[in-house]
Structure 1
């Protein structure tokens, strides 16, 4: 076997050359960005400030804080400097003559914060709530928005309170600052709520694929939220409830309504027909009044109530503050009370009852009143008949049997005319009074603006 001789001097020279070559190489990590993280953050903050101040007429956004129980609130922002902003809104008590402060900082991401009080803070104030059920929660808004991204000219943020909520800033116009919020308020206060001079039956009709589905519609103006539940028994979707944000031309909803992969979210108001319509790709949703019933009312077995409660008291004469009677009926009732007092030497009505509804010949209206601190009552006997309209709703017609001639009759006559009307009444079950009693509404067939709430016992 041949031996290989290694020259020690040659080996040392080769090793030195390798070491010198290695020292010439740059093994530092390669930068992925041109700037350091600190510089990039400062640039992002500066760019956002420039963008916010760069819109000539500021920005507008509609902010749905929790569309499972609240609606949307529109704001206008004009960022007039690196730290000052002017606001307007269709919510709360805005003051467009006042400036407040804002800042853009780094939190978990670049964050826009409205640092001093303005109308946006009324949306996040837990002591400012629409009703007792949201006491301590308020309107669930935020005054801190996390910068998300841009889409075209729009800037998108996420609410710092709920990061699933996207808040889109779009460029406002000069006209927005003169009319947007006032027109929104008019729509919210005048057109979206139920008109007290119109039918108590206001429903949503869904037309899709040749099928029509009917939904009840109840709007909570303080919350800007609509409860929309199916009346049609064959409804595919039984609940379409949504938050509402008013617009000058109608309203938008959130969550959007999706029907057979068609998304509807904007309703346009038709002044001539006093209705709101959303229509996309052959799917149409209409919110309108119904003077004639084309659907079945929640059933109440008048005179045959399963709990045996076949007497009724007018709800208003016990708990007027929670009365669900229509405004038109309440106005009628107050006028009748005043009429009774004026024509009966200062006497006052205290209670109104319907008794013995399970009988065919012993039912009567009882009116109780006070005279000189003492309680008196008058009874007016009636019979009633039951018929059914084409839709299947029962109609109850009360007829006075023997008119009671009394000096008090002139004072009671407006109520008797209401009850003993020729058209009769629809009757619908309403909310439970308690575990053992119902409340119900009676609605004149010839005047569906009048709903009188009663409870049975």
Structure 2
């Protein structure tokens, strides 16, 4: 009986074995070496297969963002332009590259080029930090191919190195020096827009957002776009992003800049003279000019060092042009009195020298230079400064000896209180000006450079 059971088990096993599927395919049907070789071939053929080359972008970990044009050949040569300097954007450099296998498929730049410049430990080359440059890579791990784009990730600093196939027209422009021309046009246009801003939102939620584009290679500030403004409810709106230049503007790298619910991804020329931001959906936001900065001067003007401004200066050239204020006649009367006495005024400054002392200093000369100085006590309430009526002359006593010449200004200082605010000029090229407005007559205000 036991033998029958044994034979029965053998028979069942035989039947099961005869029914085993023979269509099983291993999860990896190729050796690792074969798969690696195929991916190397894919990356290599993709890089060399773009007849018009590639437009690339690379944010650095420590610095800003940078743009490139590159062309790869089958002999391991790469030619490129970069947007770091006038020379790099107009003069191509050739170097070697490799596509190899390590922990993944890697693109390696073997010899010095504009990519390597960002990794240069010599601060004199581009302004990077000692030993680490801009904390940027020369070895990149292949990540993916999407449409006309190929994406790598920096091996050490993990920054995305993205390339998009160039068109024949773009290639021709890069090779003809068009990159430098485009960068110069962008920087010149931005420089002519006084206090640039964009408008985001609509209706009651409309907000003016100030725009600052830093075109330098400064490690901590350069190649970055800063946006800041106030929402309708007074909430501060701000955002910062790294960017790279392109032939028609600039790309904001990474995920763009999110401000007031809008994600801005690039700046392009709307026409020959107008720049505009564009969001991820293609909506346009024209960069406009404002007579004065959007941030109230009272928020920036004060005695502690945390304030960027604490002095208003009228230089030797006189009051800035293009400003309409009743103070102009007062100041010019003082200058005329000095001139009549055989003396010339080289500057006048209005300075918060402490949290309670406001100082006026008039630098003048006859045969020798002198300074007439008076210190006023003051109190401040928000953006309003109230001066004491009795200024204290300093030990040089020149405020007293030049009392006749100074009288128009001295009398004017008794007409406060004064409101701290920006002063606008209608003349192109005049920088942002600071003003002290008489609260009783806002058409009359001291003004000068900050």
Indicate whether the TM-score tops 0.5. yes
C-alpha distance after superposition, 1:178-225 (max 9, x if no partner): 3248444344444346766x5642233323466321233333211211
What secondary structure is seen at the aligned counterpart in 1 of 2:35?
helix
CA contact (8 A) 2:274 2:286 kept: no
CA contact (8 A) 1:353 1:366 kept: yes
**Which residue of the partner structure matches residue 81 of structure 2?**
88
**Which residue of the partner structure matches residue 398 of structure 2?**
none
**Which residue of the partner structure matches residue 104 of structure 2?**
109
Q: Where does 1:398-437 land on structure 2 (aligned, <5 Å)? A: none
| Structure 1 residues 36 and 96, CA gap change in structure 2 (3 angstroms) | farther
**Which residue of the partner structure matches residue 205 of structure 1?**
199
Q: Report the TM-score, using the length of structure 2 for normalisation.
A: 0.62
CA distance in 1 between partners of 2:174 and 2:351 (Å): 56
Q: Where does 1:6-17 land on structure 2 (aligned, <5 Å)? A: none
| Structure 1 residues 48 and 284, CA gap change in structure 2 (3 angstroms) | closer
| Structure 1 residues 130 and 446, CA gap change in structure 2 (3 angstroms) | farther
Out of 236-245 and 32-41, give the one that drifted further.
236-245
Counterpart pick for 2:362 among 362, 366, 391: 366
Aligned-pair CA distance for 1:151: 0.9
CA distance in 2 between partners of 1:159 and 1:45 (Å): 17
CA distance in 2 between partners of 1:242 and 1:37 (Å): 40
- RMSD, matched Cα: 5.2
> Number of residues paired by the alignment?
362
Counterpart check, 1:79 vs 2:72: yes
| Structure 1 residues 275 and 133, CA gap change in structure 2 (3 angstroms) | same
Q: Report the TM-score, using the length of structure 1 for normalisation.
A: 0.61
CA distance in 2 between partners of 1:42 and 1:281 (Å): 39
CA contact (8 A) 2:195 2:293 kept: no
**Which residue of the partner structure matches residue 226 of structure 1?**
225
**Which residue of the partner structure matches residue 124 of structure 1?**
119
**Which residue of the partner structure matches residue 445 of structure 2?**
none
Q: Where does 1:294-443 land on structure 2 (aligned, <5 Å)? A: 295=294, 297-299=296-298, 312=311, 314=313, 352-354=347-349, 366-368=362-364, 375-377=368-370, 443=423
**Which residue of the partner structure matches residue 289 of structure 2?**
289
| Structure 1 residues 285 and 306, CA gap change in structure 2 (3 angstroms) | same
**Which residue of the partner structure matches residue 430 of structure 2?**
450
CA distance in 2 between partners of 1:183 and 1:45 (Å): 33
List alignment gaps of at least 5 residues for structure 2: 217-221, 305-309, 323-338, 375-382, 386-402, 410-417, 435-447
**Which residue of the partner structure matches residue 384 of structure 1?**
none
| Structure 1 residues 350 and 145, CA gap change in structure 2 (3 angstroms) | farther
**Which residue of the partner structure matches residue 267 of structure 1?**
267
Aligned-pair CA distance for 1:363: 8.6
Out of 259-268 and 51-60, give the one that drifted further.
259-268
What secondary structure is seen at the aligned counterpart in 2 of 1:73?
strand
Counterpart check, 1:179 vs 2:173: yes
Out of 146-155 and 93-102, give the one that drifted further.
93-102
CA distance in 1 between partners of 2:132 and 2:315 (Å): 32
Q: Where does 1:45-194 land on structure 2 (aligned, <5 Å)? A: 45-66=40-61, 70-92=63-85, 93-94=87-88, 98-128=93-123, 134=129, 136-163=131-158, 165-180=159-174, 182-192=177-187
| Structure 1 residues 221 and 367, CA gap change in structure 2 (3 angstroms) | same
| Structure 1 residues 224 and 129, CA gap change in structure 2 (3 angstroms) | farther
| Structure 1 residues 57 and 444, CA gap change in structure 2 (3 angstroms) | closer
CA distance in 1 between partners of 2:43 and 2:190 (Å): 45
**Which residue of the partner structure matches residue 253 of structure 1?**
252
Aligned-pair CA distance for 1:146: 0.5
| Structure 1 residues 268 and 132, CA gap change in structure 2 (3 angstroms) | closer
CA contact (8 A) 1:256 1:263 kept: yes
CA distance in 1 between partners of 2:170 and 2:350 (Å): 59
List alignment gaps of at least 5 residues for structure 1: 318-325, 329-343, 382-391, 395-400, 405-415, 417-424, 429-441
CA distance in 2 between partners of 1:300 and 1:16 (Å): 93
CA distance in 2 between partners of 1:260 and 1:179 (Å): 36
C-alpha distance after superposition, 1:421-440 (max 9, x if no partner): xxxx9955xxxxxxxxxxxx
C-alpha distance after superposition, 1:21-59 (max 9, x if no partner): 9999999x9632332111211221122212211111222
